[in-house]
């Protein structure tokens, strides 16, 4: 049980020419062995690929490198699926091109996995909050996943998780299959899959520098259109993720524990989709009236954004005026 398993670090890159070199340096400095590192660029239009080639040029260290450049942009879910296809490890570490894995990351996680007799299907860790200037601002601690026993726990206490500091087993990926095309985040899906399988752990040690100034940051909403843009982006992802969560729970034989909560979320997302797809004021009002499963306050608030955003102009003007430069 203590034989050192092959681990794979999956380093995803997209439009990260300024940060990918630091991410690769963190990968190459991993103290764990045997380790393979899959570095893949999702058809970036900037110089990310050239930066990758420069960062690995002449590497003669102990880790096996696999380089990949997608001919067309796949998106995060399909990109991860492609990288898993290229990999061979029992444990798969996820790393983003705007974050930095600390040298001991893979060693700590593998040691924890072996100490737990290889039972957990996902191991997360704390993260260092890194700003866009490279300064750290304390520790981000995800939920303690060891306290989640089944899908009922997951539904009752939705865990705070960050995919950039997760590793999961190949067996749990194989059990449930590829991530759905169109998904833009894997963390929630993989945590549920792990909890209903071998379980999950969270390590308190920060093992990843998580860059808040990267492409994953939340931008300020200074106009009504900013709110709508983010809402519709999240909506597109949710309409992919929620059916997959239902399917995964059913596969695990735990659908009754999550069915009500997830279908309530799905009803809200169908409402968002239909509201903003409606072509005129009356059609949008009909969507509001028909969505009985969605709280009235939420329906009315979004109706204003969809049908008469000019009403919100004074509020956003004040917000822009008071926002720090």
Residue 100 near residue 26 (C-beta atoms within 8 A): yes
What is the total residue count of the chain? 325
Which pLDDT band, with edges at 50, 70 and 90, does 226 fall under?
Answer: confident
Is residue 123 in some structural domain? yes
Among 163, 188, 211, the domain boundary falls at 211
246 and 299 co-located in one domain: yes
Is residue 218 in some structural domain? no
DSSP state of 157: S
Which pLDDT band, with edges at 50, 70 and 90, does 169 fall under?
Answer: very high
Report pLDDT for 220: 63
Q: Does the pLDDT value for residue 174 go beyond 70?
A: yes
Q: How far apart are CA 176 and CA 105, in angstroms?
A: 26
98 and 198 co-located in one domain: yes
Q: How far apart are CA 203 and CA 165, in angstroms?
A: 10
**pTM tops 0.85:** yes
Which of 82-91, 130-139, 212-221 is the least confident region? 212-221
Q: Does the pLDDT value for residue 316 go beyond 90?
A: no
**pLDDT, tens digit, 9 for 90 and up, residues 71-93:** 999 999 999 999 999 999 999 99
Which pLDDT band, with edges at 50, 70 and 90, does 135 fall under?
Answer: confident
199 and 234 co-located in one domain: no
Residue 311 near residue 218 (C-beta atoms within 8 A): no
Average pLDDT estimate for 57-83: 95
Residues paired with residue 95 on neighbouring β-strands, in sequence order: 11
Residues paired with residue 125 on neighbouring β-strands, in sequence order: 203
Is residue 216 in some structural domain? no
Peptide bond between residue 34 and the one before it cis (omega within 30 degrees of 0): yes
Report pLDDT for 309: 83
Q: How far apart are CA 159 and CA 319, in angstroms?
A: 31
Q: How far apart are CA 79 and CA 8, in angstroms?
A: 15
* Residue keyed to tokens 């049980």: 1
Round the average pLDDT of the chain to a whole number and report it: 91
188 and 284 co-located in one domain: no
Residue 187 near residue 163 (C-beta atoms within 8 A): yes
Full domain range(s) for residue 151: 7-211
201 and 310 co-located in one domain: no
Which pLDDT band, with edges at 50, 70 and 90, does 222 fall under?
Answer: low
148 and 51 co-located in one domain: yes
Is residue 25 in some structural domain? yes
314 and 196 co-located in one domain: no
Q: Does the pLDDT value for residue 227 go beyond 90?
A: no
269 and 318 co-located in one domain: yes
39 and 156 co-located in one domain: yes
Which of 22-26, 155-159, 228-232, 246-250 is the least confident region? 228-232
118 and 201 co-located in one domain: yes
Q: Does the pLDDT value for residue 272 go beyond 60?
A: yes
Is residue 1 in some structural domain? no
Q: How far apart are CA 113 and CA 122, in angstroms?
A: 9
Which of 16-25, 153-162, 225-234, 263-272 is the least confident region? 225-234
Q: How many CA atoms lie within 13 A of 243 on its CB side?
A: 11
119 and 201 co-located in one domain: yes
- In order, the DSSP letters of 163-221 are GGGEEEEHHHHHHH-SPPTT-S--HHHHHHHHHTTT-EEEEEEEEEEEETTSTTSPPP-
Report pLDDT for 214: 47
Residue 181: what are its φ and ψ, rounded to 5°?
-60, 135
Among 185, 211, 237, the domain boundary falls at 211
More confidently predicted of 315 and 325: 315
Rg for the chain, CA atoms, rounded: 21
Report pLDDT for 179: 94
Is residue 115 in some structural domain? yes
Among 211, 233, 258, the domain boundary falls at 211
Average pLDDT estimate for 257-285: 95
Residues paired with residue 37 on neighbouring β-strands, in sequence order: 9, 65
Helices (H) and strands (E) in the chain — how many of each?
12, 9
Lookup: tokens for 98: 């705007």
Is residue 310 in some structural domain? yes
Q: How far apart are CA 169 and CA 155, in angstroms?
A: 22
Q: How far apart are CA 33 and CA 41, in angstroms?
A: 24
Q: How far apart are CA 124 and CA 202, in angstroms?
A: 5
Q: Does the pLDDT value for residue 274 go beyond 80?
A: yes
For a pLDDT cut of 70, what percent of the chain falls above it? 94
Q: In total, how many domains does the chain have?
A: 2
Is residue 217 in some structural domain? no
**pLDDT, tens digit, 9 for 90 and up, residues 2-23:** 589 999 999 999 999 999 999 9
220 burial type by CB count under 10 A (0-12 exposed, 13-18 middle, 19+ buried): exposed
263 and 167 co-located in one domain: no
| CATH number of domain containing 201 | 3.90.550.10
CB within 8 Å of 194: residues ≥ 6 apart: 120, 121, 122, 145, 168, 169, 172, 200
Q: Does the pLDDT value for residue 260 go beyond 50?
A: yes
For a pLDDT cut of 90, what percent of the chain falls above it? 78
């Amino acid at each position: 049980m203590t034989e050192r398993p092959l681990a794979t670090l999956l380093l995803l890159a997209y439009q990260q020419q300024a940060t990918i070199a630091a991410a690769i340096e963190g990968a190459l400095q991993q103290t764990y062995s045997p380790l393979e590192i899959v570095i893949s660029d999702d058809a970036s239009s900037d110089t990310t690929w050239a930066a990758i080639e420069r960062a690995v040029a002449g590497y003669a260290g102990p880790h096996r490198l696999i380089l990949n450049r997608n001919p067309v942009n796949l998106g995060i879910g399909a990109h991860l699926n492609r990288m898993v296809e290229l990999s061979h490890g029992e444990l798969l570490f996820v790393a983003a091109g705007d974050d930095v894995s600390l040298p001991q990351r893979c060693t700590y996680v593998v040691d924890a996995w072996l100490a737990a007799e290889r039972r957990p299907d996902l191991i997360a860790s704390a993260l260092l909050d890194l700003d866009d200037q490279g300064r750290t601002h304390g520790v981000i601690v995800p939920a303690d996943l060891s306290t989640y026993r089944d899908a009922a726990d997951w539904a009752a206490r939705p865990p705070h998780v960050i995919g950039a500091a997760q590793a999961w087993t190949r067996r749990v990926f194989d059990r449930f299959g590829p991530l759905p095309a169109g998904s833009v985040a894997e963390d929630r899906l993989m945590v549920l899959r792990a909890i209903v399988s071998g379980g999950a752990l969270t390590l308190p040690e920060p093992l990843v520098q998580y860059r808040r100034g990267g492409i994953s940051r939340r931008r300020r909403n200074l106009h009504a259109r900013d709110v709508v843009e983010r809402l519709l982006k999240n909506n597109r992802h949710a309409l992919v993720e929620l059916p997959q969560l239902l399917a995964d729970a059913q596969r695990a034989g735990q659908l009754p524990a999550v069915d009500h909560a997830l279908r309530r979320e799905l009803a809200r997302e169908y409402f968002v989709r239909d509201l903003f797809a409606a072509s005129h004021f009356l059609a949008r009002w009909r969507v509001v009236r028909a969505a009985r499963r969605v709280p009235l306050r939420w329906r009315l608030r979004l109706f204003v954004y969809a049908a008469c955003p000019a009403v919100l102009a004074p509020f956003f003007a004040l917000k822009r005026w008071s926002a720090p430069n």
